[in-house]
């Protein structure tokens, strides 16, 4: 059996002041055919899963390109065309094949192309014909279009947020796609439009129980896979919002019914799924009060909206300034994206003291730059952090100490995934009373085990965090919270 695989991962925040080109993919992760590492990345876990099948003699694997860019602003047209044509050209050379497996993110928007993944999957289908099986993995923070589900035989998204199950998802897509190619199952894809846009962390209830139910349903009767698409509120897409996807073994009617049942239950949970969001003042007050008590670990404070994982620059100073003005010490802050400040610190060297301006280079809503006399605690080339078994590049970094707070400056934008963000930079996270990080929820899996408490601070800034008022231009379906009961609306409503 001949199997082709490729991967493109990018999440476009169409409201971001940033712009994305091929340099962003090359800087984050770009692996030409045959050069994918043995360790998986968030959207390319299908590669190592397929390699194991190839080594066992089960398939002949033809690898295409695998690439990922840190979430950012709109992708330029030339970059999208290059990546699309590169993968399609590799597939054309690989023909004939029995199956195609794609590891995609699902929220890529480029200049002139609103549904990049839909265009890619449809082009693959046109090239390979109706009989070749196509399996696709998605991030749940994506826009699920009909172009994808009409042209793919297997569609599965990560179930967890934080996405701790991306390896398992890659394995599941590979398993079902190969079974379909062998004729063991006849997958049918059912989709229910939940018509809502909300934050749906699975680390807490009620989403924890909802995901557990989805997993329990898989393998019962004719149900092969169940996924929940959360949607990505910072992407101006006509397919914005939550959807339920059920893959059955030749039972479209049963899949449709199950998808609707789960979708209606998810809709009933609207507005109840988020953790407690604090103002900056509340977050500082609570963090300092908790840190003053006997504790088992640091208090972790998440700056949830200046999250590079949501396409922002990650250079906002608003939260850091709040902690500085409150006189907080025994605190580490990670990260602020500022390549120029990193370069100046590297030039000054470890131990140097200098006057430094850092942060808030890209947006008028991200606060003012900080001007301070800082000490360079450490500089490092090619720093990394971990996300499960995946390695995430931070680029060159500098750790500076300002008014008792140690701040990690980085040259590659990245949200905080793991405490080794600090540990790899020479800052012992367990020695600090408070850790302040930029991430919405992906940090939780690795930080929660070391934290005495986890707090979420919501500061209005560069991220479009209210789907009720975000200025979407492409949305034509009624969607909660823009419409109180979108399922009762028969005509399009913005």
Tell me the average pLDDT across 287-306. 93
Q: What is the mean pLDDT of residues 182-189?
A: 98
Domain count, the chain: 2
pLDDT band at 491 (very low <50, low <70, confident <90, very high): low
pLDDT tier at 492, thresholds 50, 70, 90: low
- pLDDT of residue 494 exceeding 60: no
Q: Which residue range(s) make up the domain with 343?
A: 277-457
List pLDDT tens digits, range 231-242: 999 999 999 999
Q: What is the pLDDT of residue 295?
A: 76
Residues 163 and 225 in one domain: yes
Residue 462 lies in a domain: no
In a domain, 254, yes or no: yes
Q: Is the predicted pLDDT of residue 399 greater than 80, yes or no? A: yes
Q: Give the chain's mean pLDDT.
A: 97
Do 238 and 301 sit in the same domain of this protein?
A: no
* Last-in-domain residue among 243, 268, 293: 268
Residue 204 sits in the same domain as residue 327: no
Of the candidates 268, 290, 323, which is a domain's last residue? Answer: 268
Which neighbouring-strand residues pair with 399?
378, 408
Residues 292 and 221 in one domain: no
What is residue 311's predicted lDDT score, i.e. its pLDDT? 96
Same-domain status, 334 and 394: yes
What residues contact residue 333 under an 8 Å CB cut-off, 6+ apart? 320, 323, 405, 406, 407, 408, 435, 436, 437
Identify the band that residue 101 occupies on the pLDDT scale cut at 50, 70 and 90. Answer: very high
Question: Are residues 254 and 329 located together in one domain of the fold?
Answer: no
Mean pLDDT of 212-221: 97
| Residues 214 and 285 occupy one common structural domain | no
How would you write the chain as a 3-class SS string? CEEEEEEEECEECCCCCCCECHHHHHHHEEECCCCCCCCCCCCCCHHHHHHHHHHCCCCEEEEEEEEECCCECCECHHHHHHHHHHHHHHHHHHCCCCEEEEEECCECCECCECCHHHHHHHHHHHHHCCCCEEEEEECCCCCCCHHHHCCCCEEEECCCCCCCCHHHHHHHHHHHHHHHHCCCCCEEEEEEECCECCCCCCCCCCHHHHHHHHHHHCCCCCEEEEEEECCCCCCCCCCCCCEEEEEEECCHHHHHHHHHHHHHHHHHCCCCCCCCEECHHHHHHHHHHHHCCCCCCCEEEEECCCCHHHCCCCCCCHHHHHHHHCCCCCEEEEEEECHHHHHHHHHHCCCCEEEEEECCCCCCCCCCCEEEEEEEEEEEEEEEEEECCEEEEEEEEEEEEECCEEEEEECCCCCCCCCHHHHCCCCCHHHCCEEEEECCCCCHHHHHHHCCEEEEECCCCCCCCCCCCCCCCCCCCCCECCCCCHHHCCCCCC
Given this model, what pLDDT does residue 20 score?
Answer: 98
Quick one: what percent of the chain has pLDDT higher than 90? 96
Let me know if residue 470 belongs to a domain: no
pLDDT tens digits, residue range 329-340?
Answer: 999 999 999 999
Residues 259 and 326 in one domain: no
The answer to whether residue 107 sits within a structural domain is yes
Mean pLDDT of 150-164: 97
pLDDT band with cut points at 50, 70 and 90 for residue 109:
very high
What average pLDDT score do residues 196-207 get? 97
How high is the pLDDT of residue 389? 87
Domain boundary residue among 249, 268, 287?
Answer: 268
- Do 308 and 453 lie in one domain? The reply is yes
**At a CB cut-off of 8 Å and minimum separation 6, what does 431 contact?**
330
Residue 77 within any structural domain of the chain: yes
| pLDDT at residue 462, as a whole number | 85
Residue 170 has pLDDT above 90, yes or no: yes
Span 365-372, average pLDDT: 96
476: in domain: no
pLDDT-based confidence at residue 2 (cuts at 50, 70, 90): very high
Are residues 264 and 309 both part of a single domain?
no
Q: What is the pLDDT of residues 24-56, one digit of tens each?
A: 999 999 999 999 999 999 999 999 999 999 999
Q: Are residues 288 and 139 in the same domain?
A: no
Confidence (pTM): 0.95
What pLDDT does residue 294 have?
A: 72
Residue 355: inside a domain: yes
Instruction: Give yes or no: residues 200 and 338 share one domain.
Output: no
Residue 453 within any structural domain of the chain: yes
């Amino acid at each position: 059996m001949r199997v082709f695989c490729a991967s493109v991962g990018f999440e476009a925040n169409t409201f971001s002041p940033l712009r994305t080109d091929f340099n962003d993919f090359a800087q984050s992760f770009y692996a030409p055919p045959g050069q994918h590492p043995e360790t998986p990345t968030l959207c390319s876990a299908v590669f190592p899963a397929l390699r194991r099948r190839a080594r066992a003699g089960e398939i002949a694997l033809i690898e295409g390109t695998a690439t990922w860019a840190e979430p950012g602003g709109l992708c330029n047209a030339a970059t999208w065309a290059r990546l699309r044509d590169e993968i399609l050209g590799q597939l054309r050379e690989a023909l004939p094949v029995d199956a195609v497996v794609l590891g995609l993110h699902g929220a890529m928007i480029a200049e002139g192309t609103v549904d990049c993944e839909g265009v890619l999957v449809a082009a693959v289908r046109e090239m390979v014909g109706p009989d070749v099986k196509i399996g696709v993995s998605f991030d749940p923070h994506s826009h699920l279009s009909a172009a994808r589900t009409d042209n793919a035989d297997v569609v599965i998204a990560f179930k967890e947020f934080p996405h701790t199950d991306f390896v398992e998802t890659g394995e599941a897509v590979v398993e079902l796609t190969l079974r379909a190619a062998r004729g063991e199952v006849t997958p049918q894809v059912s989709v229910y439009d939940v018509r809502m846009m909300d934050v749906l962390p699975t680390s807490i209830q009620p989403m924890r129980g909802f995901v557990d139910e989805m997993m329990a349903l898989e393998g019962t009767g004719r149900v092969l896979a169940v996924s929940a698409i959360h949607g990505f509120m910072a992407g101006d897409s006509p397919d914005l919002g939550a959807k339920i996807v059920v893959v059955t073994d030749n039972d479209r009617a049963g899949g449709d019914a199950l998808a609707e049942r789960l979708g209606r239950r998810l809709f009933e949970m609207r507005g109840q799924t988020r953790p407690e969001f604090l103002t900056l003042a509340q977050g500082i007050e609570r963090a300092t009060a908790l840190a003053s008590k006997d504790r088992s670990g640091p208090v972790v404070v998440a700056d949830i909206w200046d999250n590079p994982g949501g396409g922002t620059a990650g250079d906002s100073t608003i939260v850091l300034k709040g902690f500085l003005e409150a006189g907080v010490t025994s605190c580490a802050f990670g990260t602020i994206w500022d390549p120029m400040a990193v370069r100046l610190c590297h030039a000054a060297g470890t131990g140097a003291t200098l006057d430094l301006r850092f942060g808030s280079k890209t947006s008028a809503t991200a606060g003012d730059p900080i001007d301070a006399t800082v000490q360079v605690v450490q500089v490092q080339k090619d720093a990394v952090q971990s996300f499960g078994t995946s390695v995430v590049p931070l680029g060159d970094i500098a750790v500076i100490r300002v008014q008792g707070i140690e701040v990690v400056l980085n040259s590659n934008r990245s949200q905080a995934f793991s405490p080794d963000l600090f540990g790899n930079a020479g800052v012992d996270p367990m020695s600090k009373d408070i850790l302040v990080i930029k991430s919405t929820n992906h940090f939780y899996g690795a930080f929660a085990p070391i934290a005495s408490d986890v707090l979420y601070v919501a500061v209005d800034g560069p991220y479009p965090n209210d789907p009720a008022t975000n200025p979407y231009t492409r949305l034509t379906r009624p969607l909660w919270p823009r419409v109180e009961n979108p399922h009762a609306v028969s005509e399009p409503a913005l």
